[in-house]
Copies of this chain bind each other. A is one copy, B any other.
Amino acid sequence: MYDAGLKNRREVLGADYVDNSIGNADSFNSEFQELVTRYCWGEVWSREGLTRRERSLINLGMISALNRPHELKLHVKGALNNGLTRDDIKEVLLQVMIYCGVPAAVDSFRVAREVLGHDNDR
Contact = CB atoms under 8 A, between A and B. Distances in A.
B96 A62 contact: yes
A80 interface: no
A11 interface: no
Contact of A67 (B68, B97, B99, B120): B68
A93 B33 CA distance: 12
A55 to B, nearest CB: 6
Contacts of A107: 68, 70-71
Interface of A: 24, 26-29, 31-32, 35-36, 39-40, 43-44, 47, 49-50, 54-55, 57-68, 70-71, 86-107, 109-110, 112-113, 116, 118-120
